[in-house]
Amino acid sequence: MHRASGWNIALALVAGAVLAVMIDWNSLLARHSSPLFASWTAHGIGVLASLALVTLLPVRTAAAQAIPEGRWPLWSYLGGIPGAFTVLLAAITVNSALGLAGTLALMLIGQMVFGIAADAFGILGLRRVLPDRRDICAIALVLCGSIVIILARS
Amino acid sequence: MLLFVSLALLNGVLIGTSRAINGHLGKKVGPVRTSLWNHAVGFIFLSLLIGLFYRNDLAVGTGMPVNAWLGGVLGVIFVALNSHIIPRLGASKTTSLVVAAQMLASVAIDSFGKPVSSATVVILAGAALIIVGVWLSASSTKKNVRREPAQDAVPDHEEARRAVP
């Protein structure tokens, strides 16, 4: 396999592990306060942490600038809004008949279907690529395994 | 019930949307600055929500462990990594790999120090399915993931047209 791809796969797996620990810590905060407060605090701390990183890290964005000049779409700055909204929706559905397990399972399905559709149609600046049979099988396996785990834990 | 099901599905779509948008910004300002934008915009948005509708949600209990406050630091790392990867691997592959590692890590965190029960067997079976999925995903060799990183950062319309038969 090509090295660049292998690296990105490894980074994606690291990102998933970081996400799991993050959710663990954020829900600890949410249990002592409220989901909304926890998300608000996490975003606030995140602003400070990313500001520190931006200041401390050497400027290395030059490589990314080799893109067509001109106005970058405004929506690309607004990724934080759907991200922040997530917490509110999750708080609503977890407290419904769906419970935590149902909410998690449906959120995973939503994410996977969105991912496939976003690639297939090339929306939001993604390169348009139809996932092949192997990719779909991989996604289905991860999804099934995740739902098995979620249901076994509930 | 149907309403809540749709809300939960929509929530998954929102998560994906957020990550794809950040991936797009990452191509311009780099992953770390994208993480700053994501958290700053999210913080302002949540401040408005709390200020307008949820002012009573601000009570905090006592005896909070330190790490409960530090989820945001991990969030910064997560958004940066994700914004770096999405333009390179695509949304579906990134999502399945991230979810896979997330589930496996959460199983590891959850089962730490817990006795083995019948549920453990089912959970391990689920984990095995996920691992096979990751292996399948990692071993799939496609044109779009075998390009040089420098080219990856630029959406090449010629390539894109060839990738879709």
| Residue A19: pLDDT over 50 | yes
Question: What ipTM was estimated for this complex?
Answer: 0.89
Lookup: tokens for A42: 């996490």
Q: What are the helix (H) ranges across B112-148?
A: 118-139
A100 to chain B, closest Cα gap in Å: 10
Q: Is A38 helix (H, G, I), strand (E, B) or coil?
A: helix
Residue by residue, DSSP assigns A36-58 as HHHHHHHHHHHHHHHHHHHHHSP
Report CB contact under 8 Å: A142, B137.
Answer: yes
Q: Which residue has the higher pLDDT, A59 or B16?
A: B16
Range name among A31-45, A65-79, B20-34 with the lowest pLDDT average: A65-79
Mean pLDDT of B113-141: 89
How far apart (Å, rounded) are the C-alpha atoms in residues B100 and B106?
10
Task: State residue B156's pLDDT score.
Answer: 43
Instruction: State pLDDT tens for residues A22-47.
Output: 998 999 999 888 889 999 999 999 99
Whether residue B22 contacts residue B38, with contact meaning beta carbons closer than 8 Å, is answered with: yes
Inter-chain contacts counted by CB atoms under 8 A, chains A and B: 489
Q: Give the residue from B60, B136, B91 showing the smallest Cα distance to A120.
A: B91
Report CB contact under 8 Å: B98, A6.
Answer: no
Task: State residue B151's pLDDT score.
Answer: 44
Whether residue A114 contacts residue B96, with contact meaning beta carbons closer than 8 Å, is answered with: no
Closest-CA residue of A relative to B29 is A61
Residue by residue, DSSP assigns B41-104 as HHHHHHHHHHHHH-GGGG---S---GGGG-HHHHHHHHHHHHHHHHHHH-HHHHHHHHHHHHHH
CA dihedral B132, B134, B139, B141 (to 10 degrees): 130
**Running DSSP on this structure, what letter comes out for residue A70?**
S
Whether residue B124 contacts residue B104, with contact meaning beta carbons closer than 8 Å, is answered with: no
B119 to chain A, closest Cα gap in Å: 6
Assign A121 a pLDDT band (cuts: 50, 70, 90). Answer: very high
How far apart (Å, rounded) are the C-alpha atoms in residues A39 and A103?
18
Report CB contact under 8 Å: B64, A29.
Answer: yes
How far apart (Å, rounded) are the C-alpha atoms in residues A126 and A133?
20
Mean pLDDT of A73-94: 91
Closest-CA residue of B relative to A75 is B21
Task: State residue A131's pLDDT score.
Answer: 87
How far apart (Å, rounded) are the C-alpha atoms in residues B20 and A114?
10
Report CB contact under 8 Å: B7, A153.
Answer: no
**Running DSSP on this structure, what letter comes out for residue A67?**
S
Range name among A36-50, A80-94, B89-103 with the lowest pLDDT average: A80-94
B86 to chain A, closest Cα gap in Å: 8
Instruction: Tokens 């994700």: give the residue.
Output: B82
| Residue A59: pLDDT over 70 | no
